[in-house]
């Protein structure tokens, strides 16, 4: 294919030579593929365009000085030759390196996508674990509150029992004082006092017996 020639429409040639940088339609891509002998897409087009322009300007240096309108006036078609064999080998090496770079970039993109996928999975796992930990903490907190509440209830019951016991002790103390001050055995002494007609004065014999006992006897 080296040193071959091909005719292209002048409009395609002008779009390539005087067009806006970075804008490559299909006709321009076909022109670049012919000149470089490579499969040129929009990603590799800037490299192929620079190489092709250098070769074209080397053959026709006057094209670099012509304006768009002046190039158009040269005719309806233009005949372009491909790169010679020596330059073609250099271009082949360059595009081979570019393909390697592209492949490396694609592999890195795939690895990054894989890492991102793994990262998302780990994030979901972490979120799940955090949720379980949060539920566990809430459960432990609720159980702790229940235990505290049960302990407080037991303490309250214990204090109530202590209060009741203290009341009973106090009542026993009070009843014991009443019994002693009455001179008898609890309520029985009070009943005897009531049956005696309401007199609180003791009998002359202190209740041990009647007055018919002889001297020296206590009425037992």
Residue range 26-55, pLDDT digits in tens = 989 999 999 999 888 888 888 898 888 888
Name the residue among 56, 69, 17 with its Cα closest to residue 27.
17
Name the residue among 58, 50, 40, 47 with its Cα closest to residue 17.
50
Average pLDDT, the chain: 76
- Amino acid 192: pLDDT: 45
More confident residue, 33 or 86: 33
At 173, the pLDDT band (50, 70, 90 cuts) reads confident
If you average pLDDT over residues 108-121, what whole number do you get? 87
Let me know if 149 is exposed, middle or buried by CB neighbors in 10 A (0-12, 13-18, 19+): exposed
Contacts of 46 (CB under 8 A, 6+ apart): 22
Helix (H) or strand (E) holding 151: helix 85-182
Q: Where along the chain do its domains lie?
A: 5-83, 85-159
E-assigned strand segments in 38-183? 77-81
At 184, the pLDDT band (50, 70, 90 cuts) reads very low
- Amino acid 127: pLDDT: 86
Please count the other Cβ atoms lying within 10 Å of the Cβ belonging to residue 128.
10
- Amino acid 179: pLDDT: 45
At 202, the pLDDT band (50, 70, 90 cuts) reads low
**Lookup result for tokens 């012509």:** 66
Q: Is the pLDDT of residue 205 over 80?
A: no
Let me know if 44 is exposed, middle or buried by CB neighbors in 10 A (0-12, 13-18, 19+): buried
If you average pLDDT over residues 113-129, what whole number do you get? 87
């Amino acid at each position: 294919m080296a040193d071959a020639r091909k005719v292209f429409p002048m409009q395609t040639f002008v779009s390539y030579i005087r067009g806006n940088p970075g804008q490559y339609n299909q006709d321009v891509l076909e022109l670049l593929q012919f000149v470089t002998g490579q499969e040129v897409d929009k990603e590799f087009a800037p490299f192929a365009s620079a190489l092709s322009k250098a070769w074209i300007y080397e053959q026709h240096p006057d094209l670099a000085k012509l304006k768009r309108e002046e190039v158009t006036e040269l005719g309806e078609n233009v005949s372009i030759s491909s790169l010679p064999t020596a330059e073609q080998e250099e271009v082949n090496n360059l595009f081979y390196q570019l393909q390697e770079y592209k492949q490396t970039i694609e592999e890195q993109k795939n690895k990054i996508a894989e890492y991102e996928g793994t990262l998302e999975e780990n994030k979901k796992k972490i979120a799940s674990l955090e949720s379980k930990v949060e539920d566990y903490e809430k459960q432990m907190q609720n159980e702790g509150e229940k235990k505290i509440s049960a302990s407080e209830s037991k303490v309250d019951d214990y204090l109530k029992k202590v209060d009741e016991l203290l009341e009973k002790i106090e009542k026993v103390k009070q009843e014991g004082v009443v019994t002693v001050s009455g001179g008898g055995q609890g309520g029985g002494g009070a009943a005897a006092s009531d049956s005696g007609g309401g007199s609180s004065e003791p009998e002359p014999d202190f209740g041990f017996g009647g007055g018919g006992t002889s001297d020296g006897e206590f009425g037992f």
